[in-house]
Amino acid sequence: MAEKEVILTPEGLQKLEDELEHLKSVKRREVAERIKLAISYGDISENSEYEDAKNEQAFVEGRIMTLEKMLRNARVIRDDDVDTDIVSIGSTVVLRDVEFDEEVEYTIVGSAEADPASNRISNESPVGRALLGKATGSIVEVAVPAGTIQFEILRIKR
C-alpha cells in the first residue's frame, strides 16, 4: 500500500525536522532518566512513576516514527510553485464573506501543518477544498454544519 504524500511548506518542513530532532536528542534522554530514577525506587510492579515514564516513552517513540514517516513522504511546496492566478496549496487567499461583508485571509497548506487559529487551513478542509482551483473574483460556496457560506476571492498571493 502506497504511503500518503505529505505536502509541506518550507516552514512546515523545518518545524517537523526541529520537533524530530528535539524528540531524539532531548526528550528520549529525559524519559530514559525518568525510567532509571523510577527503577531505583525498587519494586516496579506497583510503581506509578515507572508506568508513567514507560507510557511517555511509548508516546515519544510513536511520535518519532510518525514524524520520520511524514518526512520520508514529504513534498515541499516552494513559493515558485505557487500560482497567483488560481488557488493552490501554498496560496494565501484574501476572501470576503458575502453575508457579513467581512474580509478574512487564509493560507492553504497540507493537513500536516494546518493551524486554523493562525489562519492556516488544510487543503482537505471544507473551505480549503472549495477554494482549490478557483480564480480571483470567483464566488465559492462552502457547506458547513450551520448551512452554506459564500466567499468571494478578492486576492491570491504567495
Q: What is the mean pLDDT of residues 52-61?
A: 96
Task: Please give the pLDDT value at position 2.
Answer: 63
- Whether pTM > 0.85 for this model: the answer is no
39-48 long-range CB contacts below 8 Å, 24 or more apart?
none
Nearest to 83 by CA among 68, 93, 70: 93
Residues facing residue 95 across a β-bridge: 104, 153
Same domain, 115 and 153: yes
Helix (H) or strand (E) holding 66: helix 48-72
Same domain, 70 and 92: no
In a domain, 68, yes or no: yes
* The domain boundary residue, chosen from 28, 44, 76: 76
Same domain, 52 and 85: no
**pLDDT at position 1 over 60:** no
With a CB cutoff of 8 Å and minimum separation 6, the contacts of 58 are: none
The answer to whether the beta carbons of residues 87 and 133 sit under 8 Å apart is yes
Q: What is the mean pLDDT of residues 96-123?
A: 94
Residues facing residue 149 across a β-bridge: 142
**pLDDT at position 18 over 70:** yes
Angle among Cα 13, 19, 23 to the nearest 5 degrees reads: 145
* The domain boundary residue, chosen from 54, 76, 98: 76
In a domain, 87, yes or no: yes
Indicate the pairing of strand 120-122 with strand 92-97: unpaired
Full domain range(s) for residue 34: 6-76
Q: What is the mean pLDDT of residues 69-85?
A: 88
Task: Please give the pLDDT value at position 45.
Answer: 80
In a domain, 1, yes or no: no
φ, ψ of residue 13 in degrees (nearest 5): -60, -45
Whose grid coordinates read 514524524?
Answer: 67
Q: What is the mean pLDDT of residues 134-158?
A: 93
Same domain, 88 and 69: no
Residue 57's CATH number: 1.10.287.180
Same domain, 86 and 61: no
Same domain, 153 and 127: yes
CA distance from start to end of the chain:
34
pLDDT bin (cut points 50, 70, 90) of residue 81 is: confident
* The domain boundary residue, chosen from 76, 102, 137: 76
Going from the C-alpha of 87 to that of each of 72, 74, 134, 143, 153, the distances in angstroms are 26, 21, 5, 18, 9
